[in-house]
Every structure is written in C-alpha cells, then in structure tokens.
Amino acid sequence: MEYAALIVAVVALTVLFLALAVKGKRRPQRREPKVTRKGEATEFQQSAQLDHIAKVAFERKPILNKAEQRVFAALEGIVAEIGGGHRVMAQTCMGEVLQPVKDSGEWPDRKRAFSAINSKRFDFAVFDGAGMLVMAVEYQGAGHHQKKAFIRDAVKREVCRRAGVPFVEVEQGTTPAALRERVLATLGVRVLAAE
C-alpha cells in the first residue's frame, strides 16, 4: 500500500515538474493589444499600423466611378440652386453624421446599433448650412442589386427613417431634370419649371 502511494506521489511530482518545465519553454502567445473603450488604437497598435504601411506603396484612386461623378455633379448644381449654405459630400461615413439617441434602448443595444452603421457610407449626403444631414442619396448602379448591397441599403434606409432623414434612391439612367425635381420636392423646395 505504501509502495503504491509512493509511486502516485512520484508520478504526480514528475507531471508537475514537466508541466512547469514545458510552461517555461513555451513561446509567448502573440495577443492583440487591447483597444481603449472608445475604440481608439493603443500606441502599440498605432506603431504596428506604421510598420504595416511602411511595407507597401500607395496610389490615389477616384472616390466615385463615372456614373456616380455625373450624379454628384447634378446634385451639386441642384444644391447650389437651393442656396442657404447647402453642400453635397460623397462617400460620407454614416457614423459621422448619425448616432443612436442617448436614452433610446439600453447601452449595449445603442453600441451594437452604432457598430451596424459606422462602417457604412452614403453615396452622397446633403447638408444644410449648419452642417446637419438633410438628405441621403444612394445611386443604384449595377452593383446595387446584389444581395449584400440590398441588405446594406435596407439598413441605410431604416436608419434614415428612424432619424427623420429623407433617403433618396437614384436609379441608373435617371436624368438630371428628374433628379432635380425629386431632390427639390424631397427637401420641400418649390419645383420651378426647367429652364
């Protein structure tokens, strides 16, 4: 009996010794540094970002394709006609211009809702003279009829509805005159006869 207890003790000590020896020899696991509560990158992450970008070259690319450029030019003309300091911006981050109401739902729900929109962009956003979003415009080109784009647009549409912001969808082939009429009507500006 004593012999069996002695064997168990020796085996237990051997296992413990081996576990400690292996633990000391293991490579430390690489962990991603924690992100601060507001989602800002830590100094270590910022340094890593610099390392990553230092390894490649960059080039400029257009923010809009040719069809979107035509819509943007038409919107700029329409907004200039409205006056009052209105401006058009392209590829506007939704999280920069919309946010959940502070007392709406629970904090985790607001956080998830904001995360759902923060990485999405409006093709075009119209702002008033005070810099407030007054209309979102989505150009429905050929790629907008894919499943992912449909879901993305549904999210944008619903967020705008909940924020009381008109969401205008411009189909491929819409004429500048038709776009003008629609934008002016949406913003409550009297539609004048086309010159």
What local confidence, expressed as pLDDT, does residue 12 receive? 62
What local confidence, expressed as pLDDT, does residue 25 receive? 54
What local confidence, expressed as pLDDT, does residue 45 receive? 80
Contact 95, 118 (CB under 8 A): yes
* Residues of the chain under the 50 pLDDT cut: 30, 32-33, 35, 193-195
What local confidence, expressed as pLDDT, does residue 135 receive? 97
Tens digit of pLDDT for each residue in 30-52?
Answer: 454 454 555 566 777 888 888 89
| 46, two tokens | 């910022």
Contact 165, 135 (CB under 8 A): yes
Contact 179, 173 (CB under 8 A): no
Q: What are the DSSP calls for 105-130, one per residue?
A: S-HHHHHHHHHHHHT-EEEEEEE-TT
